[in-house]
């Protein structure tokens, strides 16, 4: 089995474990990101767009992470924190598997190129920081182009509006999701009131609805801002690889030699790397979430986004800079813990896979020799 396949499968496994552990925080954060709130201050009466926005999304105090979690538990029980988990697991497994697969391929090529260009009194033949950043960016772009349809579906299932009408008792309760995978009873929406509602679309119906609305290209909605978000894992891996290289070099100078890193050390390296990347790219994450969510069919133009630049402009105008950092504390905790767990699980799975390969090699050698002797 090639290193690319091993790293791809290990990355997928680590990603699944990370999602299972941090999904409640992820669900709450998605709700926080997509919740619009007018910025504080008096709105001029001649600003029609600002007035419409202020009426639809009045200024209010933002709830903290624990308050959001408690509201979900109070209204829908503990299970409400895991609404929409299945499509998120599928998306995470695919994304992490694809990312690590291509990352290993591109990094192996970069290492080979570095060895070929090694000079006697010059470079040491190792992959530099810029090369690591470029490799991570290429892997990220490949991942986005391949898996974007999954995340468009997941985002729509998590943020779609509930339709008026009688609730069907035969519909699967697991498909009833609102912002961030939260139950409808936990969401306050000024645009809806009063009457009973139909259950939201499941994955299959969401695919049909999206195809009917925008055709095949609809599955790549928001691909531009998502490609821009490639900077997050790129920065993350640049920081991680840099810290890993420095720690390995330090280890090589002491009596321990090249002793493998402990799981806790990999956990801390992954946490620091993700923290740095999240702080830098969080505003882009908010814009991406807003764009991938299905836009309201009616209402004032100020309530809808035509594209990335339009979303940024309207967020600055109607919500202020604070709109780009909604739920950031939740995201930092969720991302740092998830990334740290992912790195730790991935490295451990890679070690196990390589150990199994080494153990099996002598058996394969003996089998081959016996066949030759016969």
pTM of the model: 0.62
**Phi, psi for 178 (deg, rounded to 5):** -130, -165
**Phi, psi for 92 (deg, rounded to 5):** -65, -45
> 10 Å Cβ neighbour count for 36?
17
pLDDT given for residue 144 in this prediction: 92
pLDDT given for residue 145 in this prediction: 93
The second-level CATH assignment, the architecture, of 3-369 is Alpha/alpha barrel (1.50)
pLDDT given for residue 292 in this prediction: 79
Radius of gyration of the chain (CA): 24
pLDDT given for residue 316 in this prediction: 87
Going residue by residue through the chain (374 aa), what tens digit of pLDDT does each one get?
667 777 778 877 888 888 888 888 887 887 788 777 766 555 544 455 556 555 655 556 566 778 878 877 887 677 767 777 888 888 888 887 888 889 889 988 888 888 887 765 555 567 777 788 788 889 989 999 999 998 888 777 766 544 544 444 333 333 333 333 333 333 334 333 333 344 556 778 888 988 888 789 888 888 888 888 887 877 887 888 888 888 888 777 775 556 777 878 888 888 888 888 888 888 888 888 888 777 765 556 667 787 888 888 988 888 888 888 888 888 888 878 887 888 888 888 888 877 776 666 655 555 445 544 54
């Amino acid at each position: 089995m090639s290193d690319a396949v091993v790293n791809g499968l290990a990355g997928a496994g680590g990603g699944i474990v990370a999602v299972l552990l941090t999904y409640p925080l992820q669900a709450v954060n998605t709700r926080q990101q997509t919740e619009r709130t007018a910025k504080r201050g008096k709105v001029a009466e001649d600003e029609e767009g600002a007035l419409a926005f202020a009426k639809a999304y009045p200024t209010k105090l933002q709830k903290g992470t624990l308050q959001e979690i408690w509201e979900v538990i109070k209204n829908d029980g503990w299970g409400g924190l895991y609404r929409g988990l299945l499509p998120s697991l599928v998306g995470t497994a695919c994304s992490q598997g694809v990312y690590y697969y291509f990352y290993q391929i591109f990094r192996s090529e970069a290492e080979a190129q570095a060895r070929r260009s090694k000079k006697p009194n010059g470079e040491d033949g190792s992959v530099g920081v810029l090369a690591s950043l470029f490799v991570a960016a290429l892997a990220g772009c490949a991942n986005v182009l391949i898996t974007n349809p999954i995340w468009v579906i997941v985002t729509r299932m998590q943020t779609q509006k509930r339709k008026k009408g009688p609730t069907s008792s035969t519909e699967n309760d697991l498909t009833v999701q609102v912002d961030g995978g939260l139950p409808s009873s936990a969401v306050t929406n000024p645009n809806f009131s009063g009457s009973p509602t139909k259950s939201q679309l499941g994955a299959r119906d969401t695919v049909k609805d999206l195809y009917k609305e925008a055709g095949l290209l609809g599955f790549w909605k928001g691909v531009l801002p998502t490609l821009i978000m490639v900077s997050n894992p790129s920065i993350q891996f640049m920081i991680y690889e840099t810290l890993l290289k420095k720690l390995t070099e330090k280890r090589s100078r002491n009596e321990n030699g090249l002793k493998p890193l402990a799981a806790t050390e990999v956990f801390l390296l992954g946490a620091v790397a993700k923290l740095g990347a999240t702080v830098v790219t969080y505003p882009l994450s908010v814009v991406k979430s807003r764009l991938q969510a299905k836009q309201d069919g009616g209402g004032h133009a100020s309530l809808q986004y035509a594209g990335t630049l339009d979303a940024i402009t309207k967020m600055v105008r109607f919500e202020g800079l604070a709109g780009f950092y909604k739920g950031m504390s939740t995201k930092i905790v969720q991302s740092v813990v998830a990334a740290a767990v992912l790195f730790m699980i991935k490295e451990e799975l890679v070690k196990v896979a390589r150990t199994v390969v080494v153990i099996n090699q002598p058996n394969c050698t003996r089998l081959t020799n016996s066949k030759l002797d016969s």
